[in-house]
Structure 1
Amino acid sequence: MKKDLTEKDGRLILLLTLLGAFAAVVMIPYQKGIGLLDILIETYHISFTIAAIINVIQVTLYTLIASAIGLHLARRVGFNVSYLRGLVYKNKTVPLSLKWIMIAILGSAVGTLIIAVLEVKVFQPHLVTQLVPNVSLWKIGLLMFYGGIVEEILLRLFLLSLIVWICSISYRKQSRPIPKYIYWIAILVSTLLFGLGHLPATATVFGEITSLLFIRAIVLNGLMGVFFGYLFWKKGLEYAIIAHMLGDVFLHVVWHSLFT
């Protein structure tokens, strides 16, 4: 039985890895427009093309590893990727729930609107450096693929599954159900770690980390993570991906256009 389950992750791992590679490739115009690969280019004296290829390979490898480990752990703690699994193995596909897709859309729209308002009305008035991306909206819109696919595989499928798996060892050994509070703790911890992970980039842009910038990094990068984690827990990775992709569109394209 265990061998069969392992074998049945193979195609799904491949699919998620290919989606991660696709997201990395699609991100290249945005990376070029905003100069994200300049440090790599200057440090190793390579062309933008080589730097972009290296970045695509890195993202693909991260996605491969996170998918393989994440799927293994997710199955043991009650998370699922039912729709995509049914799709790649041509089993009886679990249809996507229109109700939960609407929840994903509404939650992403409202959540990112709150983030946009906080950024414009609360944080930006107190920031010396104003963040105004000098790239086209269509390039900014490409963020939806990296955020929705790669970040959800890394943060939800891998990290969230790992935290729940670690925190539930004693329950699983006794064949007891995993308490809901463990899932909530894992969602909050993974979201907090994601927010903290943005501090180095924040320091690069602003030169130092003040208490305001610390709160900004945690709130703006973590607020939607709770919602995405909840969707992953209750319905599956597909819903978290849909919500995250739509959230990036709302935040970086719709609300950006409205507020600027």
Structure 2
Amino acid sequence: MDEMHDSTTPPSGKGNFSSEPIQVPSPEEIPSLPAKRSHAKAFWFLLLCTAMSSLLIIPYTFALLGINNPSMPVITITTIAEIVQDVIFSAIGAGIGLWLGSGIGLGAPPLEDWLNGRREAARAFVKGLPLAFIIGLLAGIIVFILAALLSLVAPMKTSEPANLPSAWQGFLAAISAGIREEIWTRLGLLTLFAWLGTKIVRGGRLSASIFWIANILAALIFASLHFTNAAIIGASGVAMVLNILLLNGIVGLTFGWVYWKRGILLAMVAHFACDIILHVIPPLLVGKF
């Protein structure tokens, strides 16, 4: 044979091909598409937490109503009704928050990550605990002081004296409210209003202005939930409305901000800490342990 062809040179007329060897990326180098987040586990977890926390509010409710020794049928019926009602509300709130919130930066990604075994989510939660607790305590102190000032300037008129639950009943109520009310109003209502805002405004992104409008609306509804407590003692008038909307609105806005920046779990922590100031400290001051 008179001439030999280089094995890397393609024969004439066969086309031009690169002489460089083909580099096949390793599996680790191939970018993976983000997995679609499943919300079912977080949904059922929140419903379970709701059912358990519903039991904790029962002693506080009876004390507020002045029922000292309820009969077993009354306890049973009240407990069943409370659990069923609360779970229905939480199913709606959690469903809205988890499925709509994930597309606008809300929802409960830290909770879902933790339930799926991602340790960094648990570490982030623990790291954020002190700040969330302090924020809740400060909100409670501010509301406590404002309530005292409002009672001097515009005292509420009541048809009967209020029953003050004991400190342990207030502590259980703080846990219960921190879980249930945050699912209903922050995870549910705030997320719904924010999602609607992103649909109305072009761009579909959650801006600060959209969030604060949603937060104000959710805080007002959150505050209105406390009119029932005022009705128990027969409170009425402008002073009552001012107390309920202003004081509960302030803490509602605070919890909404924590939810936006740190997630629903830490919003629950802030709510719990705030209620420690409002429902545990007052009875302790008068010796009702």
Q: Pick from 55, 61, 68 the counterpart of residue 31 of structure 1.
A: 61
Q: CA RMSD in A?
A: 2.9
User: Counterpart amino acid of 2:83?
Assistant: V
Give 3-state SS (helix, strand or coil) of 2:106's partner: coil
Distance 1:141 1:254, change over 3 A: same
User: Counterpart amino acid of 1:144?
Assistant: A
1:117 aligns with 2:140: no
Deviation sequence 1:106-143 (CA, Å, 0-9, x none): 22222111211222232267234386434321011111
Residue 176 of structure 1: CA displacement?
4.8
Q: Pick from 205, 211, 217 the counterpart of residue 177 of structure 1.
A: 205
Deviation sequence 1:13-41 (CA, Å, 0-9, x none): 01100000010012222223333899xx9
1:137 aligns with 2:167: yes
Partner of 2:230: 202
CA contact (8 A) 2:93 2:184 kept: yes
Distance in structure 2 (CA, Å) of the matches to 1:50 and 1:144: 22
Partner of 1:71: 98
Distance in structure 1 (CA, Å) of the matches to 2:235 and 2:216: 28
Q: Report which of the two structures shows the higher radius of gyration computed on alpha carbons.
A: 2
Give 3-state SS (helix, strand or coil) of 2:124's partner: coil
Q: Pick from 45, 51, 57 the counterpart of residue 84 of structure 2.
A: 57
Partner of 2:136: 108
Deviation sequence 1:146-204 (CA, Å, 0-9, x none): 21100000000000000001111044xx5553321000111111111222333354245
CA contact (8 A) 1:113 1:255 kept: no
1:249 aligns with 2:279: no
Identical residues among aligned pairs (%): 24
Gaps of 5+ in 2: 1-32
In the superposition, the TM-score normalised over structure 1's length comes to: 0.84
Distance 1:117 1:257, change over 3 A: farther
Greater shift in the superposed pair: 210-219 or 176-185: 176-185
Return the structure number with greater helix share: 1
Distance in structure 1 (CA, Å) of the matches to 2:75 and 2:216: 37
Distance in structure 1 (CA, Å) of the matches to 2:285 and 2:152: 16
In the superposition, the TM-score normalised over structure 2's length comes to: 0.76
User: Counterpart amino acid of 2:135?
Assistant: G
Q: How many residues align?
A: 249
Distance 1:184 1:202, change over 3 A: same
Gaps of 5+ in 1: none
